[in-house]
Amino acid sequence: MSLLKIEGLTKTFGGVHAIEDLSFTIQAGTIHSVIGPNGAGKTTLFNLITGIYAPTSGKILLEGWDIAHKPPYELAKLGLCRTFQNLQICFNMTAIENVMMGSHLHLNTSFLAALFRFPTLSQGDHECREQAAELMKLVGLSKYITADADSLPYGALKRLEIARALATSPRLLLLDEPAAGLNPKETAEIDEVIQKICQSGVTILLVEHDMKLVMNISDHILVLDYGKKLAEGKAEEIRNNTAVIEAYLG
């Protein structure tokens, strides 16, 4: 089943086409990767899908509904969430509190409930903490549940961001360079985490430069070059595509 469909998507900055007439489909329950050289338009595509940019033209359809001009907070409510290439961690908080932040859309934020200390409020906070702990276990951070965020190594912080994104209960999770800056052991851990998340029913859209990871976990790969679709298909097709080899894989 098609979860996300991009139709004729274009984004221009002045006279520059960052994305040009791009169309593709993401099937539910799959890992869909986007690759290409620097400047190919990968991050711009993510920013368009998640509402940070508005498209110049074209459609972004989530189960048939055009979401192209909705703000990020509305898209989060619809089940779209992302991580960023550069860490967005609150280092003055604990690790589990960072994850709990992702649940804010699902919590009771009523002023009256807080003022009168309704029992449902404290119960909700307790359930939120338990859920955050389970998500940390899912991404392999069991030993950091009681730790401060600033005490975690870099590889663990990358997985902490994924756990926080999962706390929003996404249907489509967009991961922007989750293996950037990681050593081979940490990359293997991210590989395992991504596959676990997909097996749990969350669809993944991945931007990544680590080709070993991409080829290992992707159900479908889209290749961008100068904002245009260069090729798409399964890993073996992309690996042996002459145009992709010349433009990117080398």
Mean pLDDT of all residues in 111-120: 51
Contact 49, 55 (CB under 8 A): no
Is the pLDDT assigned to residue 226 strictly greater than 70? yes
Whether residue 111 has pLDDT greater than 50: no
Q: Is pTM beyond 0.85 here?
A: yes
Percent of the chain scoring above 90 in pLDDT: 80
**Structural domains in the chain plus CATH codes:** 1-79+170-250 (3.40.50.300), 83-162 (no CATH)
Q: Given a cut of 60, is residue 151 above it in pLDDT?
A: yes
* Strands lying side by side in the sheet with 57-62: 16-27, 2-13, 57-62, 65-66
pLDDT tens column, 162-178? 999 999 999 999 999 99
- Work out the pLDDT band at 102, boundaries 50, 70, 90: confident
Instruction: Judge contact between 244 and 223, C-beta under 8 A.
Output: yes
Confidence of residue 243 (pLDDT cuts 50, 70, 90): very high
- Mark out the alpha helices in the chain (DSSP H runs): 42-49, 72-78, 95-101, 111-115, 119-138, 154-166, 184-199, 211-217, 235-239, 242-244
pLDDT digits 0-9 by tens, 128-142: 889 999 999 999 999
